A and B are shown apart, each in its own frame.
Chain A
C-alpha cells in the first residue's frame, strides 16, 4: 500500500480530532482569527444583499479572511475528490443501516444519501424539506446562536466559555430530537 492509498482511507477519530483542534491555534497565530465558519454565511449576505438590515451593514472587507477560509474548504473537497478518494462505500453502523433500509436508503457510496439528496428529488416534498428546509434551519439557527460547531463547540469550548457550552448542549438536544423523533417521519414519506 503506498502513501496515497494509506491516507485515502477514512481517518480514525484520534487522528482527525486533534488535527481539527489544531485549527484553533493555527488561525490565532496566523493573524488573531477566531475559528468560526457560520460567520461566512453572514458575510455572504453582507456582500451580496445587505438591504437596509443593520445586521449586515458592517465593513465586511475586514472579515474577508473568513471567505478565503471557506473557499479553502471547498477547494479541499475538490482536491480530496480528485486525489484522495476512498473507493470503498461509507461503513454504516448495522443498527442505522437496518433503519435506513426501511426508508429505501441503501446507497452508501457518497458522503450523503444520494438517493435522497440529488437534483431530481428537489422536486419532491421530501427533498425540498430536507435540502431547502434543513439548510434554512442551519443558517437561521447558527446565526441566532451566534456560532456553529466550529465557533462554539470547538473555539468556544477551547477558551472555556460557558455560553458556548450551553449552545453546544442545545445543538445536541436539537439534533437528538430531530434525528430520533421527527426525521423518521420525514424519511418515511
Chain B
C-alpha cells in the first residue's frame, strides 16, 4: 500500500513548515470551496458546546485561575483524555480521512516563545476571560463589544508578526 509513501510525504511537508510553526494543514488534495462547509458545521457544533459548557464565561475563567471551581479543569482534562485516546485509535487502526488520505501529525518544535508567549497569553486570558475561540462565540451570543477585543487580538497578532525577527525565540 502506498500509505507509507504518503506518510513520508507528510513528514517532508512538516519539515518545511516547522520554522513557520503554523500552516501545517496543507493537504495535497484540491477541493472545491464548498468542501469547507463541513468545517463550518463542525465550528457551529463546537461553538454551541463552548457556550453551553460556559467555557466562554469570564466568570468560569476567573474561578479556574483562583482554584474556586473544578469545572474548567474537568472540561480541559476530559477533553485531553478523549483526544489522546482518539489519536491513539487513529494511529493504531491507521484510520484514514473521509477522502482516503492517511492522517498525519505534525511535531511541535520547542522554542522560548512557548514560555514568553504562553505567559503573555495567560495574562490576556485572565483579563478577557476568553481565548481566541470563545471570542467568536461571545460575539455570536450577542456581546457585541467583544468585536473590539477580537480586533485588538488581530492587532496583537499583526504586531507579533511585525516584530517576530527581533523577539527571542
Contacts and interface: CB of A to CB of B under 8 A. Distances in A.
A164 B117 CA distance: 12
Given A31-B98, A72-B47, 9 more contacts: A16-B53, A24-B86, A32-B25, A41-B157, A63-B23, A143-B156, A146-B111, A157-B84, A179-B65
A21 B124 contact: no
Interface residues of A, number: 131
Given A72-B41, A92-B59, A135-B156, A77 B84 contact: no
Interface string A20-60: 11111111111111100111111011000101010110100
Contacts of B57: 90, 111-112
Nearest to A70: B136
Chain B binding surface, main DSSP class:
helix
Given A13-B71, A134-B128, A155-B83, A146 B113 contact: yes
Nearest to A57: B161
B150 A141 contact: no
Contact of A16 (B31, B52, B98): B52
B158 A49 contact: yes
B75 interface: yes
B122 A175 contact: yes
Given A29-B97, A42-B161, A75-B43, A21 B52 contact: no
B121 A77 contact: no
A166 B127 contact: no
A163 B27 contact: no
Contact of A74 (B52, B77, B109, B139): B139
A178 B42 contact: no
A133 B153 CA distance: 9
Contacts of A68: 36-37, 39-40, 43
Interface in A59-115: 62-66, 68-81, 84, 86, 90, 92-93, 95-96, 100, 108, 110-114
Contacts of B78: 13-14, 17-18, 21
A153 B80 contact: yes
Contacts of B164: 53, 55
A13 B70 contact: yes
